[in-house]
Structure 1
Amino acid sequence: MKHMIQPFGIDMYNKVLTDTKSSKHMSFYEADKSGMPDNFTISFIPSYTTEWIICYNDGNDKSEFICAGSQNKLTELSLNVFDHYFGVRFDNTGCYFNKGCNAKTYPVNITDNVFRYEPVPDSYELQLVKDFHKSLTFKDRITLFKTFVTDCKTFCPVSESIKELNNLIYSGAGTVAELSAESEYSVRHISRLYNKVYGIGAKDFIKMYRFQNVLAEIITNPDRDNSFFIEGTGYSDQAHFQREFKAFTGTTPKQYIKLIKNF
């Protein structure tokens, strides 16, 4: 059974289209079933982000909505065969939940969970599928999805404290001790904040952030040596990088690079 590995969205064979700059809080991708087996598996690499997949057919309303919260470990998910797959990856600034939810509903509420459901008649979800049927382009479907979340969902942002700490990580803070030194918070309080919002500790958040950035570099330049990817990223040596790569993806860097080249 062929697997698809998710770094910043799911790579669905060679049919994937992506748009990472079209909206605040989200990036998009889509694929069709061309060349796919009757049953196939996707692997969610550990991440602090939420991902939705809308599976739908041409010519009928059969569809499925999948919501994967942030994952603490490599998670495999079998997908049913549909004509099309429209994916949305949300960034780490918050999550969309149903209208009327508590404004301080955080990603932790769906961490390590995958929810699957079939739209019911007269629901916003089924109407979105019907609108997808009439759409002509990927850009049209992105616009339709934005309208969908505006009409029937509420965006719940992470706390201001977490935003401040995340910005320090983006600026180069590579350990919880460095976060503490550059902020007004203790190491214990920082870990408590991350667990409250994301359901993972600050140390794991930093590790995921580092790994996802290295993974993006590998996908962009798969022919470069591993030493290029890990330079200045916080890995102590090649062995450290190899161990973490296997833990996150279930495979080695060499095997992963071979996989993405096959796409």
Structure 2
Amino acid sequence: MTFDFTTLATILRDAAAAEILPRFRRLDAADVREKTSAVDLVTEADEAAERFIRDACAGAFPSALFVGEEGVAADAALLDRIGSSDLSIIVDPIDGTANYAAGAPLFGVMAAVVSKGETIGGIIYDPLGDDFMMAEKGSGAFLVRPGGERERLAVAQPVSVENMIGAASSSFLPRDKRRLLLNQLADIRIFANYRTAAHEYRLMASGFLHFQFYLKLMPWDHLAGTLLIQEAGGVVRRFDGSDYLPTHVDGGLITAPDEESWRAVRALVAPALD
């Protein structure tokens, strides 16, 4: 399917300029609300940016199903339509909302395009850096700079487990399993949680991480980034070794530079999962 990814990227950039950046470090207490917990937030900027992107996509791509994180919070049935829709645009208006709300400069805007159950494109925009990481299925992954220069992305070269640098999320594990995971990850060189999948995927796709580990698989958090990793030469699979698909919301996820590294990370975290 032919899709105008340049137009979609421009929509994300325009939304950030109109709704996200003007509110950064200018939110009042009333502009930030809890969704499910004190670490699961939504702001006026999230909602305004999603409305901007949704309305612009309705004009540019009128036949596409639009699935936004905030829209699904109001209508969970939207998730069920991704796998069967001819064309879907899945958007996270601000990934890293907790960072954004705290004034921390680490957040992004993400969009993935899914056709008949297959991810065909992904975009992660950094509003502060004003650049994109973009991938089209079968065409590679690229950093697109503000002036339009394109640089092909490649994942890191494989290293031994003790030299790995990775991003891991453990917050959805029970406490006993979390202790096991953190103990296992002590065997690697560095692990971190940036509280934004957008930037963790950007780091992985550009060769600055050796693995990622996620438990919760909402499509707006992972579809764009996983395609970036695959098109940059990396491996993406769920914990059981199966392919990650747009319809999956559980089963965990590990990314790595190659098959051997994926198996090494899976073996490392296995005590916390099995």
TM bucket by the smaller chain?
under 0.3
What TM-score, normalized to structure 1?
A: 0.25
